[in-house]
Structure 1
Amino acid sequence: MLDGIVVADFSRVLAGPLATMMLADLGATVIKIERPHAGDDTRQWGPPWTAATSAYFEAANRSKLSVELDLDVPGDLEVAANLAGSADVVVENFRAGSLDARGLGYDAVAARNPGVVYCSISGFGPDSSLPGYDFLVQAVGGLMSITGDAQEPPQKVGVALVDVLTSKDAVSGILAALLERTTSGRGQHVRVNLLSSLLGSLANQAATYLATGTSPGRLGNRHPSIAPYETVNCADGQLAVACGNDGQFRRLAEALGLPALPGDDRFRTNPARVANRAELVRELESVFGRADVDTWVGVLERAGVPAGRVGDVGSAFELAARLGLQPRVPVGDDAMDQVRHPVTYSRTPVRDYRRPPRLGEHNALVRTTYATGAPRDH
């Protein structure tokens, strides 16, 4: 789908590399610019380690070309400028002003390459010098304040979720700018930042604040606006139950042998169930505690009630495989498997999965083929 599109990837760590990896999945040629001898920071972020580098690095860098360039060395800087000057897309997450000082900022690149789509990723926008680490943004951006139990301190999410969300915003912005370029012939500067991507992803929790002026708090596994929509205790573990409407709640009550619950004024409607959540959960767990999780999964599945065992990452892959979602794909050369591109396409499926590059593996190819400096015909 993006065959013929060349991406100069000056980004490091996660948000930028994830975005450019998705572009590579879609067929773009992605050239990853790395520091000589060291490369992307995440090459050293382990354990766990793979045969070639770290699992962290390999999670965000498949299907790319790697070239080593020292931007403080004039000759290498010229190669970098030539790459940016001939690319369709430039992606960077350098500290504000750092690339401008080297002649690689948007204005300089666009003057030479007017059709370039130049994507800048920052932590807090172009006017802030604060470092854009996911954990920091989770903390100051409110995500930690709504994660975990109310009786415990705020918790970060178990993955660098803000980086992941920002990467998807970056891809959306880049694709939109490429589409607009087909009519205008001009590129543009696309900016995303972690804080804005997080706020845009808080959805109903952000709306709660905007509607009431009061920040929502931590509810653990409970939903602030739906009940029962949480984990319940069974004889051998926890079951996630997600009743999104009154019909599902009625089916749940009948499956548990509690047909009178939906007629109880405390539980008749969703707002009533939310208001009386503690009493509702006590009623439900009095029955759930009589059998194990797997038994209840079967019972509720037959009843058409959304429910499932609280699993782990391994069981999630197993579930996806059982559902035919093909969650893992080989990338060759004895490299570890990768997570499949998350979107399916009826006519143009992603087929070309290639292993993440060795550091500097494509030095000669990039210098002789892609660093010509001539703007591409957009």
Structure 2
Amino acid sequence: MKQALEDIRVLDLSRVFAGPAGSMILGDLGADVIRVESPQGTDSIREWWPFVKNESTYYLTANRNKRSITLNLKNEKGKEIFLDLVKRADVLIENFKTGTMERLGLGYDKLQALNPKLIMCSVTGYGQTGPFAREPGFDPVLQAIGGLMDVTGHPDGEPTRVGVPVVDIMSSLYTAISILSAVRSRDFSGEGQHIDISLLDVQVSALANVASSYLMTNHISKRMGNDHGNIVPYQVFQCRDKPLMVACGNDQLFIRFCETLGHPEWSEDEDYKTNAMRIKNRIVLTEKIQNVMKEKNADDWFSLLSGKGVPSGPVNNIEDVFKHPQVQARQMVDEVAHPSLGKVKLVRNPILFSKTPITIKKHPPLLGEHTIDFLKNELQLSDDRIALLKEDGAI
């Protein structure tokens, strides 16, 4: 059975993570994704450490299931080839600074005139409008401006960046979701549209309960380390060997938790009986729990709490994650052949379809790996024409 997007062609001009990870999702779903870079390379992520035989593991993370061609969009012949590709494309993704596509003569109005069905998704730090529209935007900067860092970290510590590029990751999801929606809309209208994805918008939307607390009560949330501002106990406790996260999301779970710890009387104490009272008496209760938790290893507590249906889990390092029996049972690691690296291991797409399974059909491509083949077999250009284009700096 064909995958859902096998009839969709995507031109991917994006760089670094948010845009490329979004186009990778489309590639995983069957789309023909063509990375378009300059002959000298335009994606700085290729230069990010660590490396495997000169290939950036960061780049490998976001670029499977794509082909790569090189075109110089500042060269008239290169631009002509690109415009020819636009006529044949369904989707164009770009994440240049706002206004760059227009300066190149490749703004949406011009491209839509060539292809009225084209869906163009622009992914930028601050969006296409507003006083910051032309500012560069990178994930940690947006974590800072968007409030995430201020509510992350310990109360007496400094604001803390999330350990993965979470704004980029969320933006990649919105990129894919918006494009899928636009494709569906085009099924009805026959027309494409321009999508404006702002990393700042994405981050603000992800403030979730922190945002609603402020908007509805003027409460400004602050850093609480691993504690939760609205639920107790919902935090990390140090066990005999390592930390364990415990999440008692309601009073019934707290009762089971207390029984497991051998202190059922805590759940009957008026100071701790309800979540509201536990929040009020957080410090004293937390100290009592901590004194008990340090008596056993984290895995032992996990087994006991699991038997009572209380959500918990040890704080694993990355090696522990990939050795976890559930992660292994779900086969979260896949391998794909690579022209210079042999086989590379990648984290699989987390979506499991019953009829159209996702596979890694294409390795993350080398820069311009498919240029010659693409020009010859899809644009029907002769060897002589390709040689002239290369000599002219167009490819």
Which TM-score applies when normalising by structure 2?
0.91
Worse overlay, 142-151 or 235-244: 235-244
CA contact (8 A) 2:64 2:360 kept: no
Map of 2:314 onto structure 1: 309
Map of 2:369 onto structure 1: 361
Which of 200, 210, 229 is 2:215 aligned to? 210
Q: CA deviation at 1:42?
A: 0.8
CA contact (8 A) 1:84 1:104 kept: no
Q: In structure 1, what is the Cα distance between the partners aligned to 2:297 and 2:326?
A: 24
Supply the AA of the counterpart residue of 2:329.
Answer: G
| Secondary structure of the structure 2 residue equivalent to 1:331 | strand
How many aligned residue pairs are there? 371
Q: CA deviation at 1:321?
A: 4.6
Q: CA deviation at 1:52?
A: 5.2
CA contact (8 A) 1:150 1:217 kept: yes
Cα deviation per residue 1:79-112 (whole Å; 9 max; x = unaligned)? 1222222210000011111111222111111111
Q: In structure 2, what is the Cα distance between the partners aligned to 1:344 and 1:298?
A: 28
CA contact (8 A) 2:23 2:33 kept: yes
Q: CA deviation at 1:322?
A: 5.0
Q: In structure 2, what is the Cα distance between the partners aligned to 1:16 and 1:80?
A: 19
Map of 1:292 onto structure 2: 297
Cα deviation per residue 1:238-297 (whole Å; 9 max; x = unaligned)? 111011111111111001110101111111111111221111111111211212212211
CA contact (8 A) 1:330 1:353 kept: no
Q: CA deviation at 1:39?
A: 4.2
Q: CA deviation at 1:201?
A: 1.1
* Inter-CA distance 197–322: structure 2 relative to 1 (3 Å threshold): closer
Map of 1:348 onto structure 2: 356
Q: In structure 2, what is the Cα distance between the partners aligned to 1:198 and 1:371?
A: 41
| Secondary structure of the structure 2 residue equivalent to 1:330 | strand
Q: CA deviation at 1:214?
A: 3.1
Cα deviation per residue 1:18-48 (whole Å; 9 max; x = unaligned)? 00000000000000011213342111111x1
| Secondary structure of the structure 1 residue equivalent to 2:343 | coil
Map of 2:30 onto structure 1: 27
CA contact (8 A) 1:241 1:306 kept: yes
Q: CA deviation at 1:369?
A: 4.8
Map of 2:330 onto structure 1: 325
Q: CA RMSD in A?
A: 1.5
Map of 1:375 onto structure 2: none
Note the residue ranges of structure 2 that are not aligned, 5 or more in a row.
381-395
| Secondary structure of the structure 2 residue equivalent to 1:260 | helix
Map of 1:11 onto structure 2: 14
Map of 1:99 onto structure 2: 101
Map of 1:376 onto structure 2: none
Q: In structure 2, what is the Cα distance between the partners aligned to 1:61 and 1:168?
A: 15
1:339 aligns with 2:347: yes
CA contact (8 A) 2:99 2:134 kept: no
Map of 2:71 onto structure 1: 69
Q: In structure 1, what is the Cα distance between the partners aligned to 2:357 and 2:202?
A: 28
Q: In structure 1, what is the Cα distance between the partners aligned to 2:105 and 2:347?
A: 37
| Secondary structure of the structure 2 residue equivalent to 1:30 | strand
CA contact (8 A) 2:152 2:161 kept: yes
Alignment of 1:1-378 (within 5 A): 1-46=4-49, 48-51=50-53, 53-127=55-129, 128-319=133-324, 321-322=326-327, 324-333=329-338, 334-370=342-378
Cα deviation per residue 1:337-369 (whole Å; 9 max; x = unaligned)? 111111111211102432111111110233245
Misfit runs of 4+, over 3 Å = 320-323, 368-372
Q: In structure 2, what is the Cα distance between the partners aligned to 1:49 and 1:71?
A: 29
Note the residue ranges of structure 1 that are not aligned, 5 or more in a row.
373-378
Q: In structure 2, what is the Cα distance between the partners aligned to 1:286 and 1:271?
A: 22
| Secondary structure of the structure 2 residue equivalent to 1:121 | strand
CA contact (8 A) 1:33 1:67 kept: yes
* Inter-CA distance 15–370: structure 2 relative to 1 (3 Å threshold): farther
CA contact (8 A) 1:50 1:336 kept: no
Q: Percent identity?
A: 39
* Inter-CA distance 45–84: structure 2 relative to 1 (3 Å threshold): same
* Inter-CA distance 220–193: structure 2 relative to 1 (3 Å threshold): same
Cα deviation per residue 1:295-320 (whole Å; 9 max; x = unaligned)? 21121111211111111122222226
Q: In structure 2, what is the Cα distance between the partners aligned to 1:279 and 1:298?
A: 26
CA contact (8 A) 2:271 2:281 kept: yes
Q: In structure 2, what is the Cα distance between the partners aligned to 1:223 and 1:303?
A: 22
Supply the AA of the counterpart residue of 2:255.
Answer: R
CA contact (8 A) 1:320 1:326 kept: no
Which TM-score applies when normalising by structure 1?
0.95
